[in-house]
Amino acid sequence: MSFTDVIAQGCFTWNIPLHEGALEGLEEYTRLLLEKNQVMNLTAITEPDQVAVRHMLDCLFQLSCGDFEGKWVIDIGSGGGFPGIPLQIARPSARFLLLDSRKKRVDFLQEVCDAMGLPAETMAGRAEEAAWQKQLREKFDIAVSRAVAPMNILCELCLPFVRPGGLFLAMKSQNEGAEQEIQGAQKAIRTLGGRLKEQRSYQLPGTDVHHQVVVIEKVKNTPPAYPRRYAKIESAPL
């Protein structure tokens, strides 16, 4: 199957509708990603058909976990643009902020947005510092994050950005270690104003890879003591 056929079939299987032009947009983003990957370490996956499955479809599954239409969304630790850029391409009515601590990667994300005319904004900065900015704290409908930190640490980095009533979607593996990690984060989730709503499991098509999206609902404001400095978050996680 072609790159676009792989994504189209996967989204059909998961009952995820795509806007017109999304498949072509995802293919163009992949071209830009692999081109830049020759001079910058953005991804270890370099075959387009594998990028389609292990990056694009992996990210797009989150569209089955919440309504992104017209929402303000922050991608924390965006790196090469995952999951934020595929989600922005698939949901052009949403407004994304792509946050990463490494300026070179943020520069690449901005290049992609400019080249493709995407409405996403980019920002270089650390999550635990950006969360104290008045215009960002508890302002987002949805926060997303992929492969950034253990769950208890990740919650302290992400939940302060989410408004009460919003969602935090964390992409995780589906295995015994991940389950222990999620259960061990229950105190952090509660302390930071969240509630574990559900865990949505899925298998990447044509592989034996099983992942999940941990869906956390923001039910009350994050206490003003959080987030702490990263050294403290890491040495004494909630």
Count of structural domains, the chain? 1
How far is Cα 123 from Cα 146, in angstroms, rounded to an integer? 17
Hunting for tokens 């890879």 — which residue is that?
209
Q: Which of 60, 66, 59, 70 is nearest to 218 (CA)?
A: 66
DSSP conformation letters of 18-29: --TTHHHHHHHH
What CATH number is associated with residue 106?
3.40.50.150
Whether 110 is in a domain gets the answer yes
**What is the structure's pLDDT at 46?**
87
**What is the structure's pLDDT at 7?**
96
Pairing type for strands 194-203 and 210-218 reads: antiparallel
Whether 147 is in a domain gets the answer yes
Q: For residue 48, give the 3-state DSSP assignment.
A: helix
**What is the structure's pLDDT at 148?**
75
pLDDT in tens, the chain (238 residues): 899 999 999 999 999 999 989 999 999 999 999 999 999 988 998 888 999 999 999 999 999 999 999 999 999 999 999 999 999 999 999 999 999 999 999 999 999 999 999 999 999 999 999 999 999 999 999 999 997 789 999 999 999 999 999 999 999 999 999 999 999 999 999 999 999 999 999 999 999 999 999 999 999 999 999 999 999 999 999 9
Q: Taking the chain, what is the end-to-end CA distance rounded to the nearest angstrom?
A: 46
Whether 99 is in a domain gets the answer yes
For residue 157, the enclosing domain spans 68-235
Whether 29 is in a domain gets the answer no
Torsion angle defined by CA atoms of residues 155, 159, 223 and 106, in that order, rounded to the nearest 10 degrees? 100
Chain segment 165-210, per-residue pLDDT in tens:
999 999 999 999 999 999 999 999 999 999 999 999 999 999 999 9
How far is Cα 33 from Cα 64, in angstroms, rounded to an integer? 25
Whether 37 is in a domain gets the answer no
Q: For residue 146, give the 3-state DSSP assignment.
A: strand
Cα three-residue angle 156-157-158, rounded to 5 degrees: 95
Q: What is the pTM of this model?
A: 0.95
Percent of the chain with pLDDT over 90: 94
Q: Tell me if 172 sits within 8 A of 180, measured CB to CB.
A: no
Cα atoms in the Cβ-side hemisphere of radius 13 Å centred on 2: 7
Which run of H or of E encompasses 107? helix 103-116
**What is the structure's pLDDT at 179?**
94
